[in-house]
Amino acid sequence: MKIDRFNYDLPKALIAQEPAGQRDASQLMVVDRTTRKVAHSTFAEIGSFLPANARYFRNNAAVLKARLFGERPTGGKVECLLLHPAEDARTWWCLLKPGKKSLQAGRFGREGEYSAEVLEAGANGNYKVRFSPERNESVTALSERLGIMPLPPYIERTDDDPRREADNERYQTVYADYAKQLAVAAPTAGLHFTPELIAKLEASGASFHDLTLQVGIGTFHPVQTEHLEDHNIHREWYEIPAGVLQQLQANGPGPRVAIGTTSVRSIEDALRRVTRGQAELDPRGTLRAEADIYIYPPYQFRGLDHMITNFHLPKSTLLCLVAAFLTPGSEDGIDWLKELYAEAIAEQYRFYSYGDAMLIL
């Protein structure tokens, strides 16, 4: 299948540069797969489109302030994006800018704060780096103190942009678990929820279930091969507690609603492993694995009834996943999704990470 089928034109003005004034004030497109009807609302009203006893599954990963800055011994500037730990807590795989010069220099750092040794180049343009903070602190604590949010490249910020302070709060979900501060991109469908909205839904009978997926930089990479099937899908670590896994396997009492494509990816990978007898559980019944699942039309979903998602980049694996969810087991969702996106553009929806949302029933 050619990736050009997942292309569309988007006016640059509709790429959201900051979130809505209130999280749940975002626009919400509601798509009914049975009737093929579309409704337009606000996210605060999402409960009116779902059964009161809906079960929501959400990714509670917190975003790491993963972008660090330093200097090489020669004085040249280095921008370092933390990706994930390597063999120990002080050694990380990173993206470096400039990469080759930093590798040749062998080290970089920030005087009085940290030094970093560039150990080797990886296979995908990344580098293994060993950090030595001047204070007795972890790399994540160092990045929380000195780093900045790793906003995607389509959200434009200058170094002194006053919006950066607000990004620290708004590029995190309100239910992010800071003990799991390991994502370098936000699970953006969850950015629309407020504590008040969650409490309102729970009071009506809904339940929320937490899983964790380490959202990596690969989530932003477009498919660059001519044919969709030739793309090398990114891998992301996840864990699903025993109770959450049991809820996913249960048919009731309420429908299963995935908050975001990262939740979908974790759930479908986990249930695939369970079906094949390949799920390795720890003594407490928690499933930990690395998601390598690639979802595109036609795909039959194993464990979900509805999905909440944002509006995604052209030719992205996330767009492929949403198209598959619209018409499971068929390729018809590709053209339908393009029609829905055209309607969203006509209605002036805001796109991408800080943009508006879609509920697929």
Q: What is the pLDDT of residues 297-311, one digit of tens each?
A: 999 999 899 999 999
Enumerate the β-bridge partners of residue 80. Answer: 68, 96
% of the chain residues with pLDDT over 70 = 99
Q: Does an H or E element contain 35, and which?
A: none
pLDDT score recorded for residue 182: 84
CATH number, domain 67-147, options 1.20.58.1000, 2.40.10.240, 3.20.20.80, 3.30.565.10: 2.40.10.240
The predicted structure's pLDDT at residue 278: 85
How far, in Å, CA of 127 to CA of 259, rounded?
Answer: 32
Look at the alpha carbons of 138, 218, 21, 17 in this order and tell me if their dihedral is positive or negative: positive
d(CA 252, CA 258): 15
What are the pLDDT digits (tens) for 18-60?
999 999 999 999 999 999 999 999 999 999 999 999 999 999 9
- As a whole number, mean pLDDT of residues 171-190 equals 94
β-partners of residue 92 are: 85, 129
Residue 287 in contact with residue 239, Cβ under 8 Å?
Answer: yes
Question: Which pLDDT score, from 0 to 100, does residue 235 have?
Answer: 82
Residue 35 in tokens:
């009737």
Task: Return the higher-pLDDT residue of 255 and 219.
Answer: 255
Averaged over 75-103, what is the pLDDT?
A: 94
Q: What is the pLDDT of residue 220?
A: 64
Hey, what are 244's tokens? Answer: 């959450």
pLDDT tens for residues 223-282? Answer: 889 998 998 888 889 999 999 999 999 988 999 999 999 999 999 999 999 999 888 898
What pLDDT is stored for residue 219 in this prediction? Answer: 67
- Helical segments of 71-138, H only: 99-105
Q: Is residue 195 a contact partner of residue 174, using CB atoms and an 8 Å limit?
A: yes
- Six-digit token string for 149: 């949010």
Does the pTM of the predicted model rise above 0.75? yes
Q: Where are the domains of the chain?
A: 3-63+169-360, 67-147
- Average pLDDT along the chain: 94
The single residue listed with the structure tokens 């990886």 is 122
- C-alpha angle with apex 209: 29 to 306, nearest 5 degrees? 30
Query: 3-63+169-360: which CATH number, 2.60.40.1930, 3.30.465.10, 3.40.1780.10, 3.40.1500.10?
Result: 3.40.1780.10
Within 13 A of 308's CA, how many CA atoms are on the CB side?
30
Token readout for 119 is: 């150990």
Res. 334 pLDDT band, cuts 50 70 90:
very high
Report the pLDDT value the prediction gives residue 222, as an integer from 0 to 100: 79
- Which whole number is the average pLDDT over 9-26? 97
